[in-house]
Structure 1
């Protein structure tokens, strides 16, 4: 005879499995649809509303600062050159407290889609954490991940892969 606790656990596990299903690496499925305006995005329009909405003056001013940082293979650690870019971004965001930024994490094509979506999200979250540590209001920072789906450079090899391991900041 099963206890009520055991029955509840089995029902919960069954319901979780029924809802989540199994992951696969089917390239024909869209994992994430991101907003229009993210560099390199060519897919269907995001239907959930604007993630960032800035004035034309903020958008124009943001074009004057570098908006891409790069990562090492399989890493979400902020490197010294990325820190310099993010310091300028933090200064800009603190000087413009109404500005909102979207940080999109990207990876190269190595690894599963699921892993790359996760790594891209960790990269975007690392950028958000860095900006937050510099005094930027996290309410003004949205993050998303494209994983391997939106490469900056097509093709294989370290020269191409290194350009795809990035986070892009968009206003």
Structure 2
């Protein structure tokens, strides 16, 4: 009798798993619809929480707050800094102002501001400098009217260089704050 149970249980378990998998239908274009406001909806049934959020974010790109005049500035997602400085340059004000206008027009948008440094200096010093840079961008956006809840300032210090070189050109590229949309990015098409 025990031998029969040992044979039947795996068969029943397999049948249950197969039945559960059969109920997960792939999303088709006809399942993605439009809300009354014209926004695209995405069927996220059967997706993990992270995958569902990513799918919604991609479908939720917004054209609200995007004008022909600010498209080029919204496409720019990096602000650079001088050596050992967290002061914003005059060249970056228009870029940051365009992102501020977009964020104010799109309350569901969320941005991570990641501060980076070049390789010179100690790890501790560079973590603090990266944070000051990220906070400088965050402060500008908040002062421009962006809700602080839409922003997160993070420092990576010298840990994530975009240019692995060891000269002034590489260091200049690595001294930056990246503007990373985590929810509802600008639709630039």
Taking structure 2 as the reference length, the TM-score comes to 0.59
Query: Pick from 113, 120, 124: which aligns with 2:123?
Result: 113
Matching residue of 2:58: 56
Query: Pick from 165, 168, 171: which aligns with 2:178?
Result: 168
Asked if 2 retains the 8 angstrom alpha-carbon contact of 1:124 and 1:167, the reply is: yes
Cα distance in 2 for residues equivalent to 1:91 and 1:140: 13
Matched, 1:69 2:71: no
Query: Pick from 92, 95, 99: which aligns with 1:89?
Result: 99
Q: Deviations over 1:62-120 (max 9, x none)?
A: 99521100000000001011112111111110111110100000000000000000000
Matching residue of 1:133: 143
RMSD over aligned Cα atoms: 2.3
Query: Pick from 100, 114, 118: which aligns with 1:104?
Result: 114
SS at match of 2:75: coil
Matching residue of 1:23: none
Larger of the two Rg values belongs to structure: 2
Aligned pair count reads 121
**Structure 2: any 5+ residue segments left out of the alignment?**
1-49, 182-189
Cα distance in 2 for residues equivalent to 1:59 and 1:101: 13
